[in-house]
Amino acid sequence: METLRLGASTWTYLQTFDLEAALRRLKALGYSRFDVLTIPPHLWPYDIDLAQRRALRTFLASEGLSFDSLNLPSTDQNLCSVTPQMREYSVQQFLDVIDLCEEIGVPMIVVVPGRRANFVPPPLEAAHGWLKAGLEILLPHAERAGVRLILENHHMSSMPTVKQMVTFLDAFGSDHLGIAYDVANGEFVGEDQTQAIRTAGRWLCQVHLSDASRSKWDHAPIGRSAVDFGAVARALREINFSGTSIVELISETPDADMADALRELHRYDWH
């Protein structure tokens, strides 16, 4: 059975340990590849100068660690905001994170494709138009830096399903875009994760692993809810997925649950 590559998110350590301490804890548990939160207090481009960026790159090399992606959460930015000022601010954040990726040596940025208002959302056509306009600014900069922008499915975004993302990406037609598929987010919106993986196909660059159900949005420890990780692993092998699957938990006992995730996922030859 072909081995699937495994990594970890720093999400669950965001408010308890600084970035270097979180990376050392995860390394001690057996992780060496990371999706890193690009938000204070972990990694914020406006708080880290060029010398610190070089020092971080040296630290990663000396520890045998690598960043698979940086992840700019949609909590404080929105590429699909109805206000042009917020969209401009969000684009600038991504431009600055692209520079950070280039200087540290990170190949991808996770992008939630905008948030839509819960009660009276703008039409999808408008939201997708704003997203497209933002990406048209970002992509030339990303291409020059050798960075890929990977869209993540999220139930509050303008594209909660893989089918919607693939339709958008096929129409856009850039090889510097891709998909980060979150299986828990897919479960919550009632998506068949195995079919979603097949639909994503060549666009799939990264997978986020945690557990959830269709009645509760969650990023629970592996094996605690409804996601069938064996089926997810089989679907990834069917499409010859060569990217990294990121364990992305929100846990009150992160060390224990991140260690348990490794043991559980090893059963399906994630390593």
User: What's the burial of 61, exposed, middle or buried (CB within 10 Å: 0-12/13-18/19+)?
Assistant: exposed
DSSP code per residue over the chain: -PPBEEEEESGGGTTTS-HHHHHHHHHHHT--EEEEE-STTT--GGG--HHHHHHHHHHHHHHT-EEEEEE--TTS--TT-SSHHHHHHHHHHHHHHHHHHHHHT--EEEE---B--SSSPPPHHHHHHHHHHHHHHHHHHHHHHT-EEEEE--TTBS--SHHHHHHHHHHH--TTEEEEEEHHHHHHTT--HHHHHHHHGGGEEEEEE-B--SSS---BPTTSSS--HHHHHHHHHHTT--SEEEE----SSHHHHHHHHHHHHHTTTB-
Round to whole Å and give the CA distance between 33 and 168: 29
For the chain, which ranges sit under pLDDT 70? 1
Beta bridge partners of residue 31, listed in sequence order? none
Q: Check residue 80 and give its pLDDT.
A: 95
Round to whole Å and give the CA distance between 242 and 236: 9
What are the pLDDT digits (tens) for 1-32? 689 999 999 999 999 999 999 999 999 999 99
Q: Check residue 183 and give its pLDDT.
A: 97
Round to whole Å and give the CA distance between 37 and 32: 16
Buried b or exposed e, range 211-247, using 16+ CB within 10 angstroms: bbeeeeebbbbbebbebebeebbebbbeeebebbbbb
Round to whole Å and give the CA distance between 70 and 56: 14
User: What's the burial of 118, exposed, middle or buried (CB within 10 Å: 0-12/13-18/19+)?
Assistant: exposed
Q: Are 201 and 236 in contact (CB under 8 A)?
A: no
- Residues in CB range of 137: below 8 A, 6 or more apart: 91, 95
Give the start-to-end residue ranges of the domains of the chain.
Answer: 5-266
Asked: is 5-266 a CATH 3.20.20.150 domain? The reply is: yes
Round to whole Å and give the CA distance between 123 and 73: 23
